[in-house]
Amino acid sequence: MSEFKTIRELREAQLPRATIDDIGKLSATNDTDEAAKIVAEATEEINRYLASFTPGPCPGCGAELGGIFGSFQWGICTGEGACARCEYPARGQHASKYLTGSFVLPYHPDLLAAYSGSPDFEESRQLERRISSE
Ligand SMILES: [Zn+2]
């Protein structure tokens, strides 16, 4: 049995969706109704974007992904990568109308078609490595 969780186990765990509370709250620079409206709209848009991710450590193996000692490794595509320990996919750069940042969030398991523990996932990763080394 693998030390890493399968995508089925992760989906059954019903992990939380990331929200703006996981990355720091927006705050209005003044207390006008207009500022409050902008903050509310921005919060809603950012939370909609963040719902594709789950907060916290790597869902697959529990390793910390962010920070200097995090196990996140960059992939081929800008902003994309994975846990260096178990290859669970994550994103390290984020940009939207209201949000630009460099912080690592693992994808929510509900959005993944496959993950380690699955032979198909390992085959696709091997093919990706073969293609990138040619
Ligand atoms: Zn991991």
Which sequence spans correspond to the domains of the chain? Answer: 7-133
65 alpha carbon to ligand 1 midpoint, in Å? 8
Instruction: Give how far the C-alpha of residue 73 lies from the chain's centroid of Cα atoms, to the nearest Å.
Output: 13
Q: How far apart are CA 33 and CA 48, in angstroms?
A: 23
Tell me the pLDDT of the chain averaged across its residues: 82
**pLDDT over threshold 60, residue 115:** no
**pLDDT over threshold 60, residue 52:** yes
Instruction: Give how far the C-alpha of residue 101 lies from the chain's centroid of Cα atoms, to the nearest Å.
Output: 13
**pLDDT over threshold 70, residue 43:** yes
pTM for this predicted structure: 0.70
Name residues with Cβ closer than 5 Å to ligand 1, which is an ion: 58, 60-61, 63, 83, 85-86, 88
12 alpha carbon to ligand 1 midpoint, in Å? 17
58 alpha carbon to ligand 1 midpoint, in Å? 5
Q: How far apart are CA 35 and CA 41, in angstroms?
A: 10
Task: Give the residue with greater pLDDT, 17 vs 129.
Answer: 17
Name beta bridge partners: 73.
Answer: 82
Who contacts 90 (Cβ-Cβ below 8 Å, separation ≥6)?
53, 58, 65, 72, 80, 81, 82, 83, 104, 105, 106, 107
Buried b (16+ CB within 10 A) or exposed e, 30-47: eeeeeeeeebeebbeebe
